[in-house]
Structure 1
Amino acid sequence: MVRLVLIDGNAILHRAYHALPLWRNQQGEATNGIYGFFSILLKVRDEFKPQYLVVTFDHPSPTFRHIAYVGYQHTRVKDRQIEEDIWGQLEKLRRSLESIGVAVFQLEGFEADDLLGTLSHQAVSTKKNSLDEVIIVTGDRDLLQLVNDKIHVLLPERGLSDTLLLDEKGVLQKMGVPPNNIVQYKGLVGDTSDNYPGVPGIGPKTAVMLLTEYGSIENIYKHLNSKKSKKASVLTPPIIEKLIQGHEGSVISCKLATIRKDVPLSLELQKAKMPSDDSLVSLFRGMNYLSLVKRITGESEVIKERPKKDKAKGQIELI
């Protein structure tokens, strides 16, 4: 099969940073997020053997979502040290990927999600690409809305040790709604990590029941005062009251949850080939990730990594 893998750089590095012990190099720079990212990349490479690879990153500037809703992502933890560790690693990761010829996309005013939405859409809608499958690697479930017969989403599970590949049936089983209803689902339940409200008081179970019965938020609201509603309908008086009070939140939440597919960028597969084993080995040796080198070559190398536990900070230092 001819496969393109699209990786959400920010989401995967964030997940790796929080899943692994905090390692620092001799310069005091955190490196665990980068290590975890490349560990996931090798897992994907070995399991799916893609011919093409693209990595996308958020741009540090405000996006159209921040402009549309001032509270967007406002509640995210703002620990100065964590922010410095993550942003420092994101920049170093981006440079490392570019140094071995990986196609990297980052665009002012847009999130990595929107770049993934656009690139995946271009990948399957352009006949000359002749792709059998596009796999999006991310920890962000908003991207499940992109899943179709050719686009699938790979979610890390249990930290970084397991992954779950979701097709259309898999999304329905995991979320309770099909891919084309993920935005509607988010419009009802909201998103605490991105800080948009949905309809306060409507949780995942109720949202699934509402969408299963009525199909869309628009249709749900059309039936709020319907005398034809069944007595056993999920639209009980308390639920109706929550929906009335939370209508504005549902509208803005749907807008914020919708991933763009029209970002001004172009996918060129000839510039998105998977990096060679030699280039990866060279990069990992330079970064002293010898365990990753062994995963490619199968051979142990002279150990230069000596993890040292910082008892005061609960960190591991690579020296």
Structure 2
Amino acid sequence: MIFPVVKNHIAVCFDRPEETFRRKKYVKYQAQRPEMDEFLSSQITKMHDVLESFGIPVYEKAGFEADDLLGTISQKITKESKKLRNKEQINEVVIVTGDRDIFQLINEKVKVYVPVKGLKEGKLYGVEEVEHEFDFKPIQMIDYKSLVGDPSDNYPGVPGIGPKTAITLLSKYKSKSKIYKHLEEISETTREKLKKGKDMADMSYELATIKTDVPIKIDLKKMEDWDLGSREAVELFMSYGFRTLLNRITNKNGINANLQVVDNNIAVNNKNPKEEKMPNNQGSLF
């Protein structure tokens, strides 16, 4: 699914099993979500193996969510890239995710690609697309969530404030903090809800805010040094029985990985053939 948006650099971020700072802040945060079953856990392990075979770096950090790593990487790359020579600068970062919380990171250099229709298609969101669909700017996603909450993450926002009221308030006052500075201008019913829900709004704002300063080391060289059709990838796909997926990947020389497999032998770039028996069962990862 990343093929339509792949440019030069790739990195993948994962959640960690440890408790995050958000859960410490609000014990009910994501508390309604079931524990990951063993099958899905095994698939994530395979995903790590596949990414390693591709040479794609993986980022994860205890205490933080993958969203925070995406926020940190996207912001650091776009800022630090300005220090590089023109030909080495990164002019656009595309985050691939189905989580719309990430929209708060969108700016003139950061876009979000949201897969739809079973990952076969997707939509690329920039500033204009977010404003058209939500009637507020990307950065206002934080303020919006602070007011209406987020059922998927299980934090409440301000009780009684729904999407329509939140958008109306943000359209006029631009942010949560400015809304609370102009309470006397707001209708009595809404004003009382906002007053009673102030603590929840503040907490929800903190929970909704994606970190952009997670202490991780970012290596642009590793992000650029990937190869979907590497020998390691072909061998791994053969061992997992992902034979049909070999039709979908090519190496950096543009050679289809499946063309490197002849009679169940691996001959990557026609060098050093290595015999490898195909398993009887075939699987699928993507």
Q: TM-score, normalised by structure 2?
A: 0.81
CA–CA separation in structure 2 for the residues paired with 1:63 and 1:299: 41
Query: 1:276: Cα distance to partner?
Result: 3.6
Match of 2:230 in 1: 278
CA–CA separation in structure 1 for the residues paired with 2:59 and 2:183: 44
CA–CA separation in structure 2 for the residues paired with 1:224 and 1:305: 68
Paired AA for residue 270 in structure 1: K
CA–CA separation in structure 1 for the residues paired with 2:34 and 2:136: 30
Match of 1:152 in 2: 111
Describe how 1:247-266 pairs up with structure 2 within 5 A. 247-266=198-217
Match of 2:26 in 1: 69
Describe how 1:1-319 pairs up with structure 2 within 5 A. 40=1, 44-45=2-3, 47-78=4-35, 83-126=37-80, 127=82, 128=84, 130-226=89-185, 235-273=186-224, 274-279=226-231, 280-296=233-249, 297=256
Quickly say closer, same or farther: Cα 1:188–1:305, change in 2 above 3 A: farther
Question: Is the 1:288–1:304 contact (alpha carbons within 8 Å) kept by the matching residues of 2?
Answer: yes
CA–CA separation in structure 1 for the residues paired with 2:16 and 2:284: 29
The gaps in structure 1 that reach 5 residues or longer are: 1-39, 227-234, 308-315
CA–CA separation in structure 1 for the residues paired with 2:227 and 2:106: 26
Query: 1:272: Cα distance to partner?
Result: 1.3
Question: Is the 1:119–1:266 contact (alpha carbons within 8 Å) kept by the matching residues of 2?
Answer: no
CA–CA separation in structure 2 for the residues paired with 1:85 and 1:139: 21
The gaps in structure 2 that reach 5 residues or longer are: 250-255, 265-277
List per-residue Cα deviations over 1:130-156 (Å, max 9, x = no partner).
112111011111111111111101111
Question: Is the 2:229–2:257 contact (alpha carbons within 8 Å) kept by the matching residues of 1?
Answer: no
Aligned residues: 256
Q: TM-score, normalised by structure 1?
A: 0.73
Paired AA for residue 33 in structure 2: R
Structure showing greater relative contact order (alpha-carbon pairs closer than 8 Å, 6 or more residues apart):
1
CA–CA separation in structure 2 for the residues paired with 1:305 and 1:217: 58
SS at match of 1:52: coil
Which has the larger displacement, 217-226 or 182-191?
A: 217-226
CA–CA separation in structure 2 for the residues paired with 1:90 and 1:255: 29
Q: Percent identity?
A: 40
CA–CA separation in structure 1 for the residues paired with 2:76 and 2:125: 20
Give me the CA root mean square deviation: 2.5
